[in-house]
Amino acid sequence: QPLRYILDRLDIGSDHRPIYSDRDLRIGVVISALGRKIVIYDCDEFTKEYYKAKFGVERQDPIERPETREEELAKLQKKIEFPVPPFNGFGSYEDSLNNCFKIRPQEIVKPYKTFLERDRMGFDCKILRFLLRMLVKNEPIDRTFVLSYYLSDGAISVYEIERPNSGNKGGMFISKRQIFKA
């Protein structure tokens, strides 16, 4: 009895497109994988030995790794510098700076690890305190201040010491905030 089989008249299911072989793959070649361009820029020692034995390829030096699109965009963004507008007095300096760089600014996250390392149980902060004097030539009296540097977050506050009969009311001169170098 002859073998019976059905011919596929529409040729459905058979794919006659060429496939990549080991002959096609070598350093510097751009291949298309799932519609994306991929460049081969290096290979391991086994692959180098295989190509040397099978195809007689002696040198397979790696080429420089091509940059990704994200890396190219990052380089372009580094070249473009946006001027930062001056501080407008609303909120902290970091809040204003955050508003300039994001459409929907988020709350600034403080480093929790340094907070716990430099605060005792998060309640009693380690503070460095310094005495200050204002250098003004036309002032008849010396104004004395206490600068407090908070180790937990690097914030600074300045408090003016009240002197009796001086005409200057003491109190908070600069509230607790991070002050940037000029």
End-to-end Cα spacing for the chain? 98
pLDDT in tens, 87-121: 777 777 777 777 777 778 777 776 667 666 666 55
Regarding whether 3 and 47 lie in a shared domain, the answer is: yes
Residues 6+ away with beta carbon under 8 Å from 39: 28, 29, 30, 31, 66
How many domains does the chain contain in total? 2
Q: So what's the pLDDT on residue 114?
A: 67
Q: What whole-number distance in Å separates Cα of residue 64 and Cα of residue 72?
A: 15
For residues 131 and 38, the model is more confident at: 131
Residue 100 inside a domain? The answer is: no
Pick from 66-70, 167-171, 174-178: least confident? 66-70
Residue 123 lies in a domain: yes
pLDDT digit string (tens) for 19-63?
Answer: 677 777 788 888 776 566 777 788 888 888 888 888 888 887 888
Instruction: Report if residue 160 sits inside a domain.
Output: yes
DSSP-derived letter for residue 163 is -
Q: Alpha-carbon distance 42 to 29, whole Å? A: 11
Q: Which domain holds residue 136?
A: 112-177
Q: Which residues contact 142 (CB under 8 A, 6 or more apart)?
A: 133, 134
> Residues 118, 45: one domain?
no
pTM metric for this prediction: 0.41
Backbone angles phi, psi at 129, to 5 degrees: -120, 140
Q: Tokens 């002859």 correspond to what residue?
A: 2
- Asked if 159 contacts 171 with a C-beta cutoff of 8 angstroms, the reply is yes
Tell me, yes or no, whether 97 lies in a domain.
no
Q: Are residues 2 and 64 in the same domain?
A: yes
Q: Does 2 map to a domain? A: yes
In residues, how long is the chain?
182
Q: Distance (Å, rounded) from C-alpha 25 to C-alpha 173?
A: 70
118 token code pair: 């430099």
Residue at 122 is within a domain: yes
